[in-house]
Structures are given as structure tokens and as C-alpha cells.
A and B are shown apart, each in its own frame.
Chain A
Amino acid sequence: MNLAKSFFCLAILALVSFGGIVMAQESSTPKSAAEVVKTQPYVSLDPVPRGKAFEAAVVVHIAEGYHMNSHKPSDTYLIPTTLTPKLPAGIRLVDTMYPQGSLKKFAFSPDKPLDVYSGSVTLRLKLAAQDTAAIGATTIPMILRYQACNNSACLPPVKVPVTAELRVAAAGSAAKSVHSDIFAAPAHN
């Protein structure tokens, strides 16, 4: 009976250990670019009256264990994160504001900290609706370019389309500030 119990416990222990090893290996497998980074676009005004300044933002959620180069990476050969809008007629780009990165060391770069984004970061565009902007629903297509890595491997650089939706109204129309949690925070450049 005691012998049987011992064998039983040994078998269970071995099984659990084996399962742990397999799970550890699988969990460190690099994810696809689509799994690593999720994006969500926002616009600061609804509607956007002609003649008004407003902002568009892209909140970038980076999967745990991953990072992407900041807009100002540590070295020239690294690919910076960029947000490039393709603006409709009558919408003017005033400025693009990128958050500051964090200096972090990684196993593959133990001596040289890298300037990276991780967790959630918000990239913002300062825009202006001109008198020529078409009234009604419109979109601002943007391209987010980034290159993400985990502690041992990198995903190839990718360009991801993100589209913000807004309504343009006549000059002087009432406009409501929306998503203030995103746009109230100070922006960096």
C-alpha cells in the first residue's frame, strides 16, 4: 500500500513537472504582431466645428512581456514608433505628440538601456478643422508603424492602419469635449 502510494505520488509529480515544462516553453513562444499590439482611436470633440482645433489619439496596448521602440529610440538603427495620418481635405495637422519612452535594460542588451514603450501609451495628433472641411461624417486614416520585441526575440516592423471617425459641423456649432480622460493628460513631443 505504501509502495503503491509512493509510486502514485511520484507519477503525479513527474506528470505535473512535465506539464509545467511544456507550458513554460509554450508561453514564451513569440506572439504574432496582431496579438502583441492592439489599437483604439479617439477624437476629442463631437462634433468638430469648422474653424476649431481638436485632437485625435491612438491608444496603443502592448501585450505584457513585450515592448516597442519609442519615437526616439536609443540608436539610429532601431525603428521608431510613428503615427502618420492621411488627412481628408480641410483637416490640417498641427503637431504629432508622442509620449516619452522608458529606459529599460533587457537580457539581450544588458549594458545599454533601450528607450521603449510598454503597457499602454497614447499617441496624439493636434489637428484643425478648416473652413473647407466637408460637413458630415468623415474619417482620419492613420498608419501606426512599430517594431515590437520581447526579452529574446523581435517581431518584424509592421505598419498597422488605424481609422478615427468624426463628424464635422458648421462653424460656431456646439461641440462637446469627449474622452477627456485621454485628452486631458499632458502630451509630450
Chain B
Amino acid sequence: MNRVYSAFLSAIVILVAAVGFSGCKSSTSTTAGSSSGTAAPLAEEPNVTFKDLQGNNVALSSLKGKVVLVNFWGTWCEPCRGEIPILIAMQQKYADKGFTVLGVATNDDEKAVDPFIHNTQFNVDGHQMTMNYPIVMGSDDISTKFGGLLGMPTSFLISRDGKIIKRYIGAFANADEINKQVESHL
């Protein structure tokens, strides 16, 4: 009997420790687009300034007040392309409510990006659409400030007050989870 109780108590202690560890990992969680990562979490959004395709500066901090989905992608990345219809639909649905997607192109050369965003049509709920959200260029320095990218696409959901809520590594398999997350922060 005592041995049973000891084993039981040990199991409970380990279980509590394990659950406690998972709960205390960080306030910023990482979820699947389809897979999860283990890089250091970020609570505050990094202080970064992007260049848009016209060469203008776009500070991430200038978007404070909006819920922002920072989406690192590349024209060469098939999973990134696969989730673009979801992002277009989100922009359509939530832009008026204080939300924006910010696409960060990781191509070495912006010459491939400009024609892509203007010419490539995506099937969004049966409608052919081009990308309808702002696109800026990324860099190694910017990726590093976001904690390093383990793969593409990687998205960061940022609250209105500039806190990173969640990181998503890999393409969104469907819109449900990310839509729920966005709606809960609008």
C-alpha cells in the first residue's frame, strides 16, 4: 500500500512539474501553423524598421494601436503561397476593426516581389484576388530581432499595445485558429 502511495505521489509530483513547466514556458506561445518551435519567446515586439517596396521606412511601432500579424514569407516558398488566401481573407474581414497583416518578404531581391504581389491571383472563397495587405522587405537583421526564423512561413501575432501574443511556424492549415486568436484581441 505504501509503495503504491509513493509511486502515486511521485507521479503526481512529476505531472504537476511537467504541467507547471509547460504553463510557465512563456506568456508568448508558439503554435503550429503546423509545427511549433522552441526559440526564446519575445514579450515586446522588436524595435524594427522595414523598407517597403518603394524604399520608404515602415517602423513596426507605427502600427501600434492595431492587432498585427507579421507574416514572414518568400515568393519561392510554396507553403507561404498556400496560406496567402487565408491572409487575404483575414485582411478583408478584420482591417476595418483595427487589424492588419504585414507581409515581410524574405527574398534577397525585391525585384521578384513587386510583380508577384501585383500579378499573382489567389483563389479566396471562389474569388480571384491579389495580395491586399502591406508588403515590406525583410533582412537577416530583422529576422534576428524577431528571435531568428526556423522556417518559412513564420508569423507573429502582435497585440494593439505591441506585445507578441503568439508565434506560428509553418503554414496555417486553415483559418479557424488564427481567426479566433485575432478576434479575441480586437
Considering only residues 49-96 of chain A, those with a C-beta below 8 Å from chain B are 77-79
Q: Are A15 and B169 in contact (CB under 8 A)?
A: no
Asked if B32 and A152 sit within 8 Å, CB to CB, the answer is yes
Q: Which residues of B lie under 8 Å from residue A137 when comparing CB positions?
A: none
Shortest Cβ gap from B111 to chain A (Å): 13
With an 8 A cutoff between CB atoms, is B46 at the interface?
no
Docked pose: A83 CA to B76 CA in angstroms? 19
Q: CB of B175 within 8 A of chain A?
A: no
B53-61, B62-70, B93-101, B147-155: which lies at the A interface? Answer: B147-155
Identify which of A8, A15, A157 contacts B18 (C-beta below 8 A).
Answer: A15
How many residues on the A side are at the interface (Cβ–Cβ under 8 A)? 36
What CA separation (Å) do A8 and B13 show in the bound complex? 12
Question: What residues of chain B lie closer than 8 Å to A106, measured between beta carbons?
Answer: 78-79
Partner of A78 from the list B5, B18, B78, B116 (CB cut-off 8 Å) is: B78
Could you tell me the distance in whole angstroms from the C-beta of A4 to the nearest C-beta in chain B?
Answer: 5
Bound Cα distance from A22 to B36, whole angstroms = 10
Q: Which of A6-27 contact B (CB under 8 A)?
A: 7-8, 11-12, 14-15, 18-19, 22, 25-26
What's the least CB distance linking B128 to chain A, in Å? 15
A109 at the interface (CB under 8 A from B): yes
Chain B interface residue count, CB cutoff 8 Å, equals 42
User: Counting CB contacts under 8 A, is A180 at the interface?
Assistant: no
Judge whether B162 is part of the interface by a CB distance below 8 angstroms.
no
- Specify the main secondary structure of chain B where it touches its partner: mixed
Known: A1-B1, A153-B153. A8 touches B8 (CB 8 A): yes
- What A residues does B153 contact at CB under 8 A? 153
Find out whether the CB atom of A15 lies under 8 angstroms from the CB atom of B152: no
Rounded to whole angstroms, the CA-CA distance of A109 and B78 in the bound complex is 7
Q: List residues of chain A with CB within 8 A of the CB of B173.
A: 107, 152
B159: chain A residues at CB < 8 Å are none
| Contact assessment for B78 and A151 in the assembled complex, using a CB-CB cutoff below 8 Å | no
* B80 within 8 A of partner (CB): yes
Interface string of B113-149 (1 = CB under 8 A from A): 0001000000000000000000000000000000001
Question: Of the candidates B12, B22, B34, which one forms a contact with A153 in the assembled complex, judged by CB atoms under 8 Å apart?
Answer: B34
Most buried by A among B76, B80, B82, B169: B76
Q: Does B14 contact A (CB under 8 A)?
A: yes
CA distance A150 to B173 in the complex (A): 14
Give which listed residue, B4, B12, B18, B38, contacts A19 with CB less than 8 A: B18
Residues of B within 8 A of A149 (CB): 77-79
Q: In the complex, which of the residues A78, A79, A109, A153 contacts B152, with contact meaning CB atoms closer than 8 Å?
A: A153
A-chain residues with CB within 8 Å of residue B32 when the two chains form the complex: 25, 28, 152
Is B171 in the interface zone, CB < 8 Å from A?
yes
CB nearest neighbor in B for A19 = B18
- Distance in Å from the Cβ of B80 to the closest Cβ of chain A? 7
Which of A18, A108, A157 has the most chain B CB atoms closer than 10 A to its own CB? Answer: A108
List the interface of chain B (C-beta within 8 A of A). 1, 4-5, 7-8, 11-12, 14-15, 18-19, 22, 32-38, 74-83, 106, 112, 116, 149-154, 169-171, 173
Chain A residues at the B interface, C-beta cutoff of 8 Å: 1, 4-5, 7-8, 11-12, 14-15, 18-19, 22, 25-26, 28-30, 32, 77-79, 106-109, 114, 147, 149-157
* 11 pairs of residues in contact across A and B, judged by CB atoms under 8 Å: A4-B4, A14-B15, A108-B78, A108-B81, A149-B78, A150-B151, A152-B34, A152-B35, A153-B171, A154-B78, A155-B152
